[in-house]
């Protein structure tokens, strides 16, 4: 049996694509919103497609905020994808309306400032030094993005003399924005590894290897 992964089904994500991609790299995958199953799994994947506010409403409706918080408090791995990453930040602003996120990281999800929006298609990522998520990927590896909002600045210290801080990876589309974060048991990507071919599969395998 592979490592058990629950893809949290709260109505806002490409759950089938995520299920197939995780199974491809050897995970034992279940799609569910069941609280106990999500808590017991080796890993929890939080997908997300659509608007920040709607995703937060859907997540809280299935107690996903509690699930994420309790898992992280116990050092249990969680990975967010696309809006599933965005809602881990303090807040999102869409059409002038601010919505509170899970506040695992400081920062604001804002409209991406670029000549062409949404940012849709393949792009490279400048991986953080020492990244475990991007281990083994080529420097010119390309990943699939589709989004109009992003975290355009990082407000948390990435390292200190005493403790290793989050590893933050970046992509540029019009301007730099946060493409991925690795922070202890909490990892997240703005792009879709489940739609990024073998490069994305390698990232999911790297995550699976930490469970």
> What residues act catalytically?
82, 192, 194
How many CB atoms are closer than 10 A to CB 74?
9
Taking alpha carbons only, the member of 115, 119, 87, 120 closest to residue 101 is: 87
> Which residues are CB-neighbours of 102 under 8 A, at least 6 positions away?
65, 68, 69, 87, 88, 89
Separation between Cα atoms, residue 123 and residue 143, nearest integer Å? 5
Nearest to 62, CA basis, from 42, 31, 41, 35: 35
- Per the CB < 8 A criterion, the answer to whether 124 and 176 are in contact is no
Q: For residue 177, what are its two tokens?
A: 């924005």
Is cis: bond before 53, omega within 30 of 0? no
């Amino acid at each position: 049996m592979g490592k058990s992964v629950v893809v949290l089904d709260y109505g806002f994500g490409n759950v089938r694509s995520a299920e197939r991609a995780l199974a491809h790299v050897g995970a034992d995958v279940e799609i569910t919103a069941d609280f106990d199953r999500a808590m017991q799994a080796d890993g929890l994947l939080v997908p997300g497609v659509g608007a920040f506010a709607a995703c937060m409403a859907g997540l809280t409706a299935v107690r996903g905020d509690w699930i994420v918080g309790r898992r992280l408090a116990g050092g249990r791995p969680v990975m967010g994808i696309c809006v599933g990453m965005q809602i881990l930040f303090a807040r999102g602003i869409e059409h002038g309306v601010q919505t509170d996120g899970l506040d695992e990281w400081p920062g604001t999800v804002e409209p991406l400032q670029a000549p062409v929006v949404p940012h849709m298609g393949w792009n490279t990522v400048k991986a953080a030094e020492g990244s475990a998520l991007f281990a083994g990927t080529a420097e010119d590896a390309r990943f699939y993005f589709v989004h109009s909002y992003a975290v355009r600045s990082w407000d948390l210290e990435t390292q200190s003399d005493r403790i290793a801080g989050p590893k933050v990876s970046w992509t540029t589309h019009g301007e730099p924005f946060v493409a991925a974060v690795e922070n202890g048991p909490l990892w997240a990507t703005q792009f879709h590894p489940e739609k990024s071919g073998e490069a994305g599969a390698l990232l999911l395998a790297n995550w699976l290897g930490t469970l």
